[in-house]
Chains A and B, each alone.
Chain A
Amino acid sequence: MKGEPAVLTGQHFLLGDHACAEGALAAGCRFFGGYPITPSTEVAEWLARRLPEVGGIFVQMEDELASMAAIVGASVAGARAMTATSGPGFSLMMENLGLAAMMEVPCVVVNVQRGGPSTGLPTLVGQADVMQARWGSHGDYEIVAYSPASPQECFDLTVKAFNTADHFRIPVLVMADEVVAHMMERVTIPPAEAIPRVERKRPRQGPGGNGFLPFKADDDLIPPMVHAGEGYRIHFTGLTHDERGYPAITAPAHDRLVRRLVDKVRQKAWEIVEYEEYRLEDVSVVIIAYGSTARSARRAVGLAREQGIAAGLLRPITLWPFPGERVKKLAERVRAFVVPELNLGQISREVERFTSLPVLGVNHAGGAMMPPEPILEAIREVAG
């Protein structure tokens, strides 16, 4: 059976979910373990057909606990691996997301947000998992989370997620939402050789030598990664461990390890952070919006400008790390921030950490796309 190539170079009209799936394939993802859940199921369905075509492995797992464990397992064996889910499944993945952080195993999780808590609104949009994305698993760790606002970004940011995951040896999240995932738009897929590819750092010494320390980090705080079956006789554990990978159940060992895990991402946060700016030159009111809500926010900027208010948009592309430094800089020359989001105030709290100016939330618990009008109203309110 012959199918299409892994990289579908050309112009396509794609669903956001399908664009995520194509992004994964283009990035070289060759293992997907997932469990069906609206509104992410199209990612799994697409990959169930496409992965075998390119020699990749698709497994519909028995649940999301298994899905997350499987992608970590696939990754320690050397594969680029991904899962896709939505709120309830995302909650089930949290423990093994922490395992990936602790074992430093790169992998990608797509979470297509719907209305929560619990089963909530299975088919309707939400953006209320963004703090769970940051803090959902227990313990201290850093996460990278991308927020696509279009099918094109579903493709591009999924590719990027794999590269960031492999570079830092961390789990990376693609925090889509139902509107973006179920929207069809033009997606341009570049030629295979133009797809950016960052390889995992691999050991510089062969197996068999003495004194090899599989968890000894370089100056960038990232240790090279050994895969299963390479002869190094490595031990990976979710317990606090030393540079040999051996359990080390002491306060100093724990502080050393957790600090390194956090710092390897934090010290490069400025390299990871991405955002888009729209009409911020002469701005007095800045809207901060992400995902599908950023699309409505753009419209609100236009409407405000028609009414003579200098509004603009800062759109975080990475929710985590959050572009807080950019907020700080903007705060020096604007009047206020407006933060519309499909939750009852999550990213607005993050914005408040970086400014003492008024931060006005425009909130809806989810179920429908954020309309531009309430955003415009908030802009008018803070513009005075």
Chain B
Amino acid sequence: MTMSTLIAERHPSDPLFRADRLPHIWCPGCGIGPAMHAYAQAMVESGIPLARHVCVSGIGCTGRVPGYLNMDSYHTTHGRAIPFAMAIALVKPELEVTVYSGDGDLFAIGGNHFIHAARRNVDINVICINNFNYGMTGGQVGPTTPMGARATTAPFGNYEQPFNLPHLAAATGAVFVARWTSLHLRQLKQAMLRAMKKRGFTFIEVLAPCPVGFGRPNDIGDAMEEMTLYREGCVVDPAAPLDSLDIDLRVKDRPIVLGNFVDVERPVFDPLAMMRPTSEAENNTAVAGKTQEGQ
């Protein structure tokens, strides 16, 4: 059997991907691919027709995700996916808009947009692939790089305190907040499903190996070893206090805490709320075009 016939074999998720764009750009062992697959499966299981899902990204390795998905997708500029996505969601409230981007994109250059969209409770989902570095540009330090970790622009080890992303998201107003890894695909997909069914600003952090940008300079042998490191270091504790979710890889036996941490209700951003009859505005369902299903 030749390679080409192998590639041509059908997989149940095939229609979700742009097969004509393969091979993809990601390195062997990269955590972005599996997490993208979880998103694709969640879309199918969401019951929302694929034509109503929209994926928006900024720039980076993760920013390439929408380009491989066979759906309406927008690959915008570095850091600006959230305001772009917000406007789509406001103009067409019937769409299920998801931002899929990297830690640098969403929390360094785009950090301001994240906190304001969360504060407003804009009806979008934000999925962040946190690989602890700027993968695309070759492994520079970023706002989630753990203390002590080496990067091309932190050759002596990172000395900046990184963000605790679930804590940040919750504090700024996200109504659903979760953290999983690209190894916890079932839990990750379930979290994505919940995010899709929930109205308002949801946030999912996905810890993902980047063997090239993060593993190599930090003496993590390969992707397998990086994944093992996360698997062995992870504990699932949805009730953990948000301020205890910092990730510190220097301290041996300090766990990486995973879970669905926040699931609350808040009025959803609706610039026309004041124009609607009071009862409608209070229920805040008028622009939705979709109703709250389950949680």
Instruction: Check if A and B associate.
Output: yes
Q: Given A66-B112, A229-B51, check contact A239 B83 (CB 8 Å).
A: no
- Is A246's beta carbon under 8 Å from chain B? yes
Q: Give the contacts of B87-116 with A (CB-CB under 8 A).
A: 87-88, 90-92, 94-95, 112-113, 116
Cα(A146)–Cα(B200), bound, Å: 39
- Is B189's beta carbon under 8 Å from chain A? no
- In this complex, which of B67, B73, B74, B90 has the most chain A Cβ atoms within 10 angstroms of its Cβ? B74
- Is B79's beta carbon under 8 Å from chain A? yes
- Is B295's beta carbon under 8 Å from chain A? no
From A148-156, A230-238, A298-306, A375-383, give the one contacting chain B.
A230-238
Tally of B interface residues using CB under 8 Å: 41
Cα(A287)–Cα(B205), bound, Å: 61
Tally of A interface residues using CB under 8 Å: 47
Q: In the complex, are the beta carbons of B113 and A66 less than 8 A apart? A: yes
Q: In the complex, are the beta carbons of B112 and A62 less than 8 A apart? A: yes
B53 to chain A, nearest CB (A): 9
Cα(A53)–Cα(B88), bound, Å: 20
Q: In the complex, are the beta carbons of B271 and A58 less than 8 A apart? A: yes
Q: Given A55-B272, A62-B112, A78-B92, check contact A33 B73 (CB 8 Å).
A: no
Cα(A232)–Cα(B75), bound, Å: 16
B112: chain A residues within 8 A (beta carbon): 62-63, 65-66
Q: In the complex, are the beta carbons of A77 and B92 less than 8 A apart? A: yes
- Is A344's beta carbon under 8 Å from chain B? no
- Is B6's beta carbon under 8 Å from chain A? no
The residue on A at minimum CB distance from B51 is A231
Q: In the complex, are the beta carbons of A72 and B51 less than 8 A apart? A: no
- In this complex, which of A66, A95, A236, A247 has the most chain B Cβ atoms within 10 angstroms of its Cβ? A66
Q: In the complex, are the beta carbons of B54 and A229 less than 8 A apart? A: yes
What are 11 A-B contacts defined by CB distance under 8 Å?
A55-B272, A66-B113, A69-B77, A69-B84, A73-B56, A73-B85, A77-B88, A77-B92, A95-B77, A230-B51, A244-B20
Q: Give the B-binding residues of A (Cβ under 8 A).
A: 1, 30-31, 33, 52-53, 55, 57-59, 61-63, 65-67, 69-74, 76-79, 81, 95-96, 99, 103, 207, 228-239, 244, 246-247
Q: Give the A-binding residues of B (Cβ under 8 A).
A: 18, 20-21, 50-52, 54, 56, 59, 66-67, 70-77, 79-88, 90-92, 94-95, 112-113, 116, 271-272, 274-275
